[in-house]
Structure 1
Amino acid sequence: MSLVDIRKTHLAVEEIFHERGPRAAQPLVVATALAIIRNPYAGRHEADLMGFMAELRALGTQLSTRLVEALGGADRVQAYGKGAIVGEDGELEHGALWHEAGGWAMREVLGQPKAIVPAAKTIGHMGTRLMIPLGHTQAAYVRSHFGTAEMTVWDGPRRDEIAFGLAMATGGRIHARIGGLAAADVKGLDGLR
């Protein structure tokens, strides 16, 4: 029997045309996909979490694929991030499983980008909002792509659930202008520059 029991999934897509500056010809598109699943270890300590983490890879692939489709293809994705909200009967380590499983899945679906996948995790209750940090897919020092995507669902996670989410965006902030490494100048050799 699978340890990954999905109660519901949620896909959100936002288009940003401006933030009181000039209107962009093409909007920045930011999407989040999340799944609310039963926490198989709610209310108890489990020493070995590795089997659960391995099973979560399939969930990561499912969510990554939905995001890429929503954004119009892997070649349009320039930024990404991941997050987890663990219900009150779980522990933060249950959310930490998503570091490998969610990150691995996004890399597979996007063709092995070089930069680290930014992450956030917390313990929360129904309706908890988590801001998933975003970063450029190929180079961590691209300041224009430092952003956030909101991950929330009104009826989860319940005490014995976990919300695992992924986020992707088609670019950096709509009016980025604080300098640093430009996305056009990324070499993408080491995930930093």
Structure 2
Amino acid sequence: MSLVNVRKYKLDVEECWHEGGPRLATPLRVAVAAAVVKNPFTGRYEPDLLPFMAELRQLGSELSARAIAALGGVEAVQAYGKAAIVGEDGELEHGAVWHEAGGWAMREALGQPKAIVPSAKTIAGIGTRLIVPLGHVQAAYVRSHFGSAEMTIWDGPRRDEIVFGLAMATGGRVHARLGGLAAADVVGNDGLR
């Protein structure tokens, strides 16, 4: 029997044309694909979380595919992040399994980009809004792509659930103008520059 029991999926797509400055020719699009999953370890300590983490790779692949399709394909994705909200009867480590499972799946789907996948996780109740950090997919020092996306489920996570999410964006912040390494100048060899 699988350790991953999905109750529901959610896909949000935000489209931003401007933030008070000139209107963009093409909007910034941000997608958040999330799933509400039954926590198989609710209310008890489980010493070995690795089998759960391994099974979650398939969920990561599913969420990656949904977000990539919503943004128009792999070539469109310039920034990414991941997040988990653990219901109140779980522990933070139950969300931390997503670091490898979600990050691995997203990298696989995007052609093995080099930069670290920014992450957020918390323990919380139904309707929690978690702000997911975003960073450039090839180089962590691309300041313009330090962004964020919101992940929320109106009826989750319940006490015995976990919300796992992946966020992707088609670019950096709208009207970014604070210097630093430009996306066009990324070499992408080490995930930093």
Q: TM-score, normalised by structure 2?
A: 1.00
SS, match of residue 18 in structure 1: coil
Q: Determine the C-alpha separation between the residues in 2 that align with 1:73 and 1:25.
A: 19
SS, match of residue 126 in structure 1: coil
Q: Determine the C-alpha separation between the residues in 2 that align with 1:76 and 1:31.
A: 11
Corresponding position of 1:187: 187
Q: Percent identity between the aligned chains?
A: 75
Structure 2 gap ranges (5+): none
How far the C-alpha of 1:187 sits from its partner, in A, is: 0.2
Per-residue CA shift, 1:5-59, capped at 9, x if unaligned?
0000000001000000000010000000000000000000000000000000000
Corresponding position of 2:120: 120
How far the C-alpha of 1:139 sits from its partner, in A, is: 0.1
- What is the letter of the counterpart of residue 74 of structure 1? V
Aligned structure 1 segments of 4 or more residues deviating by more than 2 angstroms: none
Per-residue CA shift, 1:140-193, capped at 9, x if unaligned?
000000000000010000000000000000000011000000000000000000
Corresponding position of 1:19: 19
Q: TM-score, normalised by structure 1?
A: 1.00
SS, match of residue 83 in structure 2: strand
Q: Determine the C-alpha separation between the residues in 1 that align with 2:110 and 2:169.
A: 12
Q: Determine the C-alpha separation between the residues in 1 that align with 2:33 and 2:49.
A: 23
Q: Determine the C-alpha separation between the residues in 2 that align with 1:165 and 1:14.
A: 15
Q: Determine the C-alpha separation between the residues in 2 that align with 1:127 and 1:68.
A: 25
Q: Determine the C-alpha separation between the residues in 2 that align with 1:74 and 1:35.
A: 21
Structure 1 gap ranges (5+): none
- What is the letter of the counterpart of residue 31 of structure 2? A
Per-residue CA shift, 1:75-104, capped at 9, x if unaligned?
110000000000000000000000000000
- What is the letter of the counterpart of residue 80 of structure 2? Y
SS, match of residue 97 in structure 2: helix
Corresponding position of 1:163: 163
Q: Determine the C-alpha separation between the residues in 1 that align with 2:181 and 2:162.
A: 36
Do residues 111 (structure 1) and 111 (structure 2) align?
A: yes
Question: What RMSD over aligned residues (CA atoms) do the two structures have, in Å?
Answer: 0.3
Q: Determine the C-alpha separation between the residues in 2 that align with 1:121 and 1:185.
A: 31
Q: Determine the C-alpha separation between the residues in 2 that align with 1:192 and 1:37.
A: 33
Corresponding position of 2:37: 37
